Structure 1
Amino acid sequence: MLIVHGGTPLKGEIRVRGAKNLVSKAMVAAVLGETPSTLYDVPQISDVGIVSGLLRVHGVEVTSGHDQSLHFDTSKVEAAGVDEINIHAGSSRIPILLCGPLLHRLGRAFIPDLGGCNIGGRPIDFHLNALREFGAVVDKTPGGLEITAPEGLKGIQYRLDYPSVGATEQVLLAAVRAEGTTELRNAAIEPEIIDLICVLQKMGAIIKVHTNRVIEITGVERLHGYSHRPIPDRIEAGSWASAALATQGEVFVRGARQADMMTFLNVFRSIGGEYEVNDSPVDGGIRFWHPGGPLKPVALETDVHPGLMTDWQQPLVVALTQAQGLSIMHETVYERRFGYTQELRAMGANIELYSECLGGTPCRWGRRNFLHSAVIAGPSKLHAADLQIPDLRAGFSHLIAALAAEGTSRVYGVDRYITRGYENFEAKLAALGANVERPGAAL
């Protein structure tokens, strides 16, 4: 639990490191290489610890270095026992991405039951269908999935029904050492996907990114290690920017990069926020602030890149509770991502949910009664409440709401969720002047 004394604008500077959604995938990619790899600027988050544990039980030596780097010695990759792997079952959805690398290195992989945030259906059918096309054999067992490749993996022609980030990563990690050429259509092209392609290219892969979401991979027999500094975490940067807006504060996010956040920056300015980009290669970043006066209502829709990222939705909704008028947020990526609004309504936010598509972007669950559109009427005077965090991104949004509210809130589930994706967030809150404390600790 975290005790939050709200009503104080956040002001100061914090730093974001490598993107959570790239770092964990780059760690998995290291298994494909037969020589060591080094990943720099790795955030100290629980997801990194989970993936490190998964790699270690498969024989990878993971060591920490300077500049928050991780070094991976993959010379002794080995099969892990079911009990060892199951220690991590339910903690992360990363294990499914180990399939391709382990099939190439060992010829088999065991994948336990998968965890992750409860924000809607994220079926692994995309992953399993693709692996079967490559030639893998998938057998269900009581504890998970046993996957083998009796004749190795072969290149395929494959089209995703939806440009899923996870499925695109799966195909990339399986195709780079598969025999022949793989053509993936309707692929995800998020910045983290492009950065993963950069990692694989450094390892010796041959990958072409064509127009219209087409990626072509020519399989190679062997890959070597890499040395890579990941793109900064654009989700965390957007979260702190939204916190500055909601609390009428000013936050300099060191490390944030304009090129990865163009869609967010347009939305931020449309709402009435201001920002300034510092392109210094040493200490650059983006300064976000509330310029005073009323915020403006907007109509927004989440979408795959280059659309508005679904992980920016929750913190932006908190900020929109302070805008003057009616705002709309149409969620088109995950069907159950508005569960967190119940807590916001308990704090005084005026938010109504609808199953209709309140926007022009097609979504996959129209007329299926999922509450995936929100209308936010503001400004709302938020008051303190006891908050139970349901998932990672919603959890940080609850924290923002507590910081913006009058009075003292108690936020539960901090260590289970927020630490998965936000490095040293309590120290960062302190650096921004937030008045927060752990029970029994001194202010």
Structure 2
Amino acid sequence: MAACGENDESGAVVAEQQENDVLHVVGGKPLNGTIKVRGAKNFVSKAMVAALLAPGVSVLKNVPEIRDVHVVSDLLRLHGATVEWNDEKGILTIDATNVQLADVADVDTLSGSSRIPILFSGPLLHRLGEAFIPQLGGCNIGGRPIDFHLDTLRKLGANVDKEHADGIHITAPNGLHGAKIHLPYPSVGATEQTLLAAVQAEGRTELSGAATEPEIMDLVAVLQKMGAIISVDVDRTFRIEGVKKLEGFTHTALTDRIEAASWASAALATHGDIFVKGATQPEMMTFLNVYRKIGGEFDVTDKGIRFWHPGGDLKPVAIETDVHPGFMTDWQQPLVVALTQANGLSIVHETVYENRFGFTKPLVQMGATIQLYRECLGSLPCRFQQRNYKHSAVIFGPTPLEGRDIDVPDLRGGFSHLIAALAAKGPSNVQGISLIDRGYADFRGKLAALGADID
């Protein structure tokens, strides 16, 4: 009987977790009000890893309370660092004086929630001479192979053993040394890997074909504060002179331009008016140009950016995603929801992730007219040409959306589905909203503040 009771209790817990993972939305109401956006998910987690490079205390400000921050905090603790979190002020204090190898099973338990563990390689190799990287998780939006990461580490002198069933064992008994590295594609992750591994490698490292996103440049700023010597050329080449010693840093994270753009798209799709405190213009200029072409209005102030639908018809546009300074792939999905309400034919050519349009199926079921194509409907050179991926979308609007039950596929697609539910007529149940917690801090509280009808 005891065993039966335990199973009943376990089943009740699972049922409660599943129930809490559903957001009931009654759409058709404009989102109006003010919200605040903190530091960029794609920067904060990397700066936290960088703190491992220095035996001392680092302070990171403007940190959002998102799941990825909690995952990396736990990973840092597993490796011997202490992490203190002040949620009210958004301040993380990391003491990496004592670093140790973590238990493989413990790291593996956490790693399914994040792809961050691969970036621990460089700091752990410098501090301990070895690292273990488990199987990696992340959103299912297309191939994000770690081959670039491993090739970079090998060129810097690391020994990579992939024969372990649970992951990859990496060693550098003689330390890392500078190397000449070229990335065939400006991968953000591989660029971050090279920076974190090369700053204390002996000699000089030249990285060409690098990514230069604002989040990467903010990571460079952090590393420079720690004592690194890094120069950046206009041709996407980083030159890193290895140093023997790094110190802790104090740094305020740049604002999350993806979250800011997501709320801007929500304002457009729901005919709303949202002031995004903390949003900054320089990192969003490409998005703002497209937003204006569609017919959205915005006003840049010292405290943030106000986004609103001015009334009348929205205009169709043609967009091609690209690496910075192009139109960011993470901006594309929320904006597609708004484009279903534009008057005419819009085209979106996705050149970064081959499976990013999987999120459009529920939109079609809600009433949107979206057709996917394997052809490159754009002028940018594309890696996916003739590779059988449906990576171009044609959106015809305006089409009224009707509420329905939706399963969240990934972080950005999930927030896009949430926008669609908010714009749709009638009720929707959005299942799997915990995925959205990875990158959108307190999004339920923000929706409530904007007047959304949610439960």
Shorter-chain TM-score category?
A: over 0.9
Out of 74, 79, 88, the residue aligned to residue 101 of structure 2 is 79
- The reply on whether 1:395 has 2:395 as its aligned counterpart is no
- The reply on whether 1:104 has 2:126 as its aligned counterpart is yes
Residues 339-392 of structure 1 show CA distances to partners (whole Å, capped at 9, x for unaligned) of: 000000000000000000000011111001100000000001000010000000
Q: How does 1:171-210 map to 2 (within 5 A)?
A: 171-210=194-233
How far apart in 2 are the matches of 1:91 and 1:109?
19
How far apart in 2 are the matches of 1:295 and 1:409?
24
Matching residue's letter, 1:433: G
What's the counterpart of residue 313 of structure 1? 332
- The reply on whether 1:406 has 2:428 as its aligned counterpart is no
Query: What secondary structure does 1:87 align onto?
Result: helix
Query: What secondary structure does 2:43 align onto?
Result: helix
**2:57–2:97 CA contact under 8 A, matched in 1:** yes
Matching residue's letter, 1:318: V
Query: What secondary structure does 2:375 align onto?
Result: coil
Matching residue's letter, 1:110: F
Query: What secondary structure does 2:396 align onto?
Result: strand
Matching residue's letter, 2:304: G
Query: What secondary structure does 1:111 align onto?
Result: strand
Matching residue's letter, 2:207: L
Residues 380-439 of structure 1 show CA distances to partners (whole Å, capped at 9, x for unaligned) of: 100001000000000000000000000000000001x100000000000001000000xx
Matching residue's letter, 2:450: L
TM-score normalised by structure 1 residue count: 0.97
Matching residue's letter, 1:288: F
Residues 52-93 of structure 1 show CA distances to partners (whole Å, capped at 9, x for unaligned) of: 011000000001236110111111100111111111121100
What's the counterpart of residue 440 of structure 1? none
After the TM superposition, which segments of 4 or more aligned residues of structure 1 sit over 2 Å from their partners? none
Out of 73, 80, 83, the residue aligned to residue 52 of structure 1 is 73
How far apart in 2 are the matches of 1:343 and 1:232?
30
What's the counterpart of residue 19 of structure 2? none
Query: What secondary structure does 1:387 align onto?
Result: strand
**Offset of 1:196 from its aligned partner?**
0.2
How far apart in 2 are the matches of 1:389 and 1:317?
16
Q: How does 1:28-427 map to 2 (within 5 A)?
A: 28-65=49-86, 67-140=89-162, 141-279=164-302, 284-415=303-434, 417-427=435-445
Residues 125-160 of structure 1 show CA distances to partners (whole Å, capped at 9, x for unaligned) of: 000000000011111201000000121100011110
Query: What secondary structure does 1:88 align onto?
Result: helix
How many percent identity over aligned positions?
65
What's the counterpart of residue 441 of structure 1? none
**1:34–1:222 CA contact under 8 A, matched in 2:** no
Matching residue's letter, 1:96: I
Residues 145-180 of structure 1 show CA distances to partners (whole Å, capped at 9, x for unaligned) of: 000012110001111000000000000000000000
How far apart in 1 are the matches of 2:352 and 2:106?
33
**2:55–2:98 CA contact under 8 A, matched in 1:** no
How far apart in 2 are the matches of 1:89 and 1:99?
14
How far apart in 2 are the matches of 1:384 and 1:11?
20
What's the counterpart of residue 25 of structure 1? 46
**Offset of 1:12 from its aligned partner?**
0.3
Structure 1 or 2: more helix by fraction: 2
**Ranges in structure 2 where 5+ consecutive residues have no aligned partner:** 1-21
How far apart in 2 are the matches of 1:297 and 1:219?
49
What's the counterpart of residue 33 of structure 2? 12
**Offset of 1:271 from its aligned partner?**
0.3
Aligned length: 432
Query: What secondary structure does 1:340 align onto?
Result: helix
Query: What secondary structure does 1:342 align onto?
Result: helix
How far apart in 2 are the matches of 1:150 and 1:39?
31
**1:32–1:104 CA contact under 8 A, matched in 2:** yes
How far apart in 2 are the matches of 1:103 and 1:113?
18
